[in-house]
Amino acid sequence: MAFEAIPKPSPRAPLVAGAFLAVAAALLAVGSYIGLFVAPPEHFMGEVQRIMYVHVPTAWNAMLALTFAFVCAIVVLFKQDWKWDARLEAWLEIGVLLSFLLCVQGSIWAKPTWGVWWDWDPRLTTTAVLCFAFVGILALRRFVEDPVKRATWSAVATIVAYVDVPIVYFSVKWWNSLHQTQSTPQTVASSMITPLRINAFGILFLIVGLSILRSQLARRKIAAELAPPLPEQDRLAPTGGVA
Amino acid sequence: MSVPVRQTRPVAPLAGAPARSVPGSVRPLPAPAPIAGPFAQLVAAFRKDVLLSWRSRAQAMAVVVFGATALLLLSFAVGPDAASLRRFAGGFLWVALLFSSTLALSESFRAESEAKALEGLLLLPASPVSLFYGKALANWLQLLLVGIGLLPILIVLYDPDLTRLPALAGILALGSAALSAPGTLYAGMASQVRAQQVLLPLLLFPLVVPVLLAAVKASSLLLLGDPMGQAGAWALLLAAFNGIYWPLCGLLFSKVIEE
User: Do A175 and B202 count as a contact with CB atoms less than 8 A apart?
Assistant: no
Give the Cα separation of A119 and A140 in Å (integer).
29
Which residue among A129, A159, A160 places its CB closest to the CB of B209? A129
Q: Which residue has the higher pLDDT, A89 or A189?
A: A89
Q: Which whole-number Å values give the CA distances from B22 to A163, B18, B26, B31, in the listed order?
A: 53, 11, 8, 20
- CB-CB neighbors (< 8 A) of B210 in chain A: 164, 167-168, 170-172
Interface contact flag, B193 A136, Cβ < 8 Å: no
Measured between beta carbons, the chain A residues lying within 8 angstroms of B213 are: 171-172, 175
User: Which of residues A51 and B184 earns the better pLDDT score?
Assistant: B184
Helix, strand or coil for residue A41? coil
Neighbouring C-beta atoms of residue A99, cutoff 10 Å:
26
Is residue B31 assigned to a domain? no
pLDDT of A87 strictly over 60: yes
With respect to residue B29, please indicate whether it lies within any of the assigned structural domains: no
For residue A50, the distance in angstroms to the closest alpha carbon of chain B comes to 31
Q: Does the pLDDT of residue A90 top 80, yes or no? A: yes
Chain A: give the shortest CA distance to residue B239, in Å: 12
Selected residue of B213, B246, B254 to mutate for chain A interface (largest A Cβ count, 10 A): B213
Shortest Cα distance from B186 to chain A (angstroms)? 8
- Phi, psi for residue B149 in degrees, rounded to 5: -65, -30
In which domain, by residue range, is B210 found? 38-257
Lowest mean pLDDT: which of A132-136, B100-104, B115-119?
A: B115-119
> Is the ipTM of this structure higher than 0.90?
no
pTM for the model stands at 0.82
Find the angle CA(A53)-CA(A54)-CA(A56) to the nearest 5 degrees.
75
**pLDDT averaged over every residue in chain B:** 83
For residue B114, tell me if it sits in a domain.
Answer: yes
Burial A155-187 (b: 16+ CB within 10 A, else e): bbbbbbbbebbebbbebbebbeeebeeebeeee
Q: What angle do CA B69, B71, B74 make, to 5 degrees?
A: 110
Domain count, chain B: 1
Q: Does residue A237 carry a pLDDT above 70?
A: no
Asked if pLDDT for residue B30 goes beyond 80, the answer is: no
Cβ contacts of B91 within 8 Å, gap of 6 or more: B216, B219, B220
Once rounded to an integer, what is the mean pLDDT over residues A92-115? 89
Nearest Cα to Cα of residue A156 among A93, A65, A80: A80
Which residues of A have a CB under 8 Å from any CB of B? Answer: 77, 129-130, 132-133, 135-137, 139-140, 143-145, 148-149, 152-153, 155-157, 159-161, 163-164, 167-168, 170-172, 174-175
In a domain, B101, yes or no: yes
Q: Which residue has the higher pLDDT, A217 or B228?
A: A217
Q: Output the CA–CA distances (angstroms, integers) from residue A234 to B51, B61, B167, B182, in the order listed.
A: 53, 55, 69, 46
B107-145: pLDDT as tens digits: 888 877 777 777 777 777 778 888 899 999 999 999 999
Determine, yes or no, domain membership for B97.
yes
Q: Is residue B33 part of a domain?
A: no
Cα dihedral B10, B15, B16, B18 sign? negative
Q: What's residue A185's pLDDT?
A: 59
Chain B partners of A171 at a C-beta cutoff of 8 Å?
209-210, 213-214, 237
Q: Say how many CB pairs under 8 Å bridge A and B.
A: 86
Q: Tell me, yes or no, whether B169 lies in a domain.
A: yes
The model's pLDDT over B212-227, given as tens digits with 9 standing for 90+, comes to 999 998 998 888 877 7
Classify B31 as helix, strand or coil. Answer: coil
